[in-house]
Amino acid sequence: MSDGALSQDEIDALLGGVDSSLLGGGGMPGGGGADGDRKALEDFLGSTVGALSSNLAMMTGAQVTLNKPRLETSGRDAFLQKLPETVTAVKADFTSGFPGEHMFIMGEDTAKKIAALMNKEDNIELDEMAMSVIGEVISQLTGTQITSLTDKTGNKNIAVMSPEAANVPKAVAALPGSDFIAASYDLDLGDGAVYPLWEIFGSQTAAEITAALGGQPSQAMPAMDMGMPGMGAMPGMGAMPGMAMPAMMPGMMTGMMGSSPANVQPVQFPGLSPQPTPQEQGNIGLIMDVFMEMTVELGRTRKLIKEILGMGEGTIIELDKLAGEPVDILVNHKLIAKGEVVVIDENFGVRVTEIVSPMERMNEMG
């Protein structure tokens, strides 16, 4: 309407919970406010590239540079045209905080380069082990993003599923069915080449993150002036005669006027057992290639210095273990398991028969 007032159809749509972008208003994707909303998310992702570059450099051992992303609203068909024929798609949906679709996509050559740097080998195949490595890399990236997003929004419940990587034809990639937000990064892995990397957000997830960052929410319902104190005014509502009262309004008004008791429900609090964050789960990957000394100990005994000095060829030393007892398996001189001695070809080995319990390990360390 030319005078700025809402039409009856528009009001009914708002009261029915229809996305305001369908009425031509702001929101992401689409609508007059899409550019502003996209800018808020783009600025946030840009603010994390320094930390993401550092994490990638630490994991790969290369001089990594990740440029600030470019965001666009896209549909599946249009986006597929930009991808190589075979891609590595890593599903990492948000499970809480801003639940919804989220994933990373890279070309097959990008995945091979990252996996080769992580495993310190050339001509790597994108097998199950390589996919596990790529999933760990994405886990590190999402963990960094979640930490920053928590700081900026105050939402401490943000979490993503454990990333699942698969090397597939691009048509098989599990892209969102409707329009989505695609963040396009340029990744330099230290060899001077530019490797494209895409981060995909479902439209609802992107809109909720944007709203939390201070942008316009995509599905905010304006307050309506029903002639009751404490409620905001909707432009044009007072000048619209004959507007039907929605079915929800009488009950809402009854509760506000106090003519019936409030429906009080007990609060269900979550359990207090600590849950590791995706970043904490992913940090173990940083030490996976650290060597540890492992020792198999047949037994021990104590001798006087004069007995040790008197030892010679043929001397028999009695140990504190009975014949047939399991031997001790130590890592950095700490007992972690027990086992039995076996012969493999012409070499000695040990078959693990028992893993020491965490409590026993703690007592051993103490």
Q: What is the pLDDT of residues 309-324, one digit of tens each?
A: 888 888 999 888 888 8
Helices then strands, counting H and E runs in the chain, come out as 10, 13
Considering 187, 212, 237, which residue would you say is the last residue of a domain? 212
Comparing 183-187, 248-252, 278-282, the range with the smallest average pLDDT is 248-252
Please tell me whether residues 208 and 100 are part of one structural domain. Answer: yes
Q: What is the pTM of this model?
A: 0.52
Is 261 within 8 Å of 255 (Cβ atoms)? no
Confidence of residue 106 (pLDDT cuts 50, 70, 90): very high
Q: How far apart are CA 32 and CA 30, in angstroms?
A: 7
- Looking at residue 192, which CATH number applies to its domain? 3.40.1550.10
pLDDT at position 254 over 50: no
Q: Using the 8-state DSSP alphabet, how is residue 17 labeled?
A: T
Identify the pLDDT of residue 88: 92
Confidence of residue 251 (pLDDT cuts 50, 70, 90): very low
Identify the pLDDT of residue 225: 43
pLDDT at position 23 over 50: no
Identify the pLDDT of residue 275: 55
Mean pLDDT within 234-262:
45
pLDDT at position 252 over 50: no
Considering 148, 177, 212, which residue would you say is the last residue of a domain? 212
Identify the pLDDT of residue 9: 58
Identify the pLDDT of residue 320: 85
Please tell me whether residues 78 and 203 are part of one structural domain. Answer: yes
Structural domain span for residue 326: 291-365
Q: At what angle do helices 108-119 and 128-153 cross, to 10 degrees?
A: 90
Number of domains in the chain: 2
Please compute, for residue 93, the number of CA atoms within 13 A of its CA located in the half-sphere on the CB side.
Answer: 10
Comparing 144-153, 268-277, 353-362, the range with the smallest average pLDDT is 268-277
Q: Hey, what amino acid is at 178?
A: S
Please tell me whether residues 204 and 295 are part of one structural domain. Answer: no
Question: pLDDT by residue (tens digit) across 193-221?
Answer: 888 999 999 989 888 898 888 855 444 33
Considering 156, 179, 212, which residue would you say is the last residue of a domain? 212
Comparing 106-120, 121-135, 204-218, the range with the smallest average pLDDT is 204-218
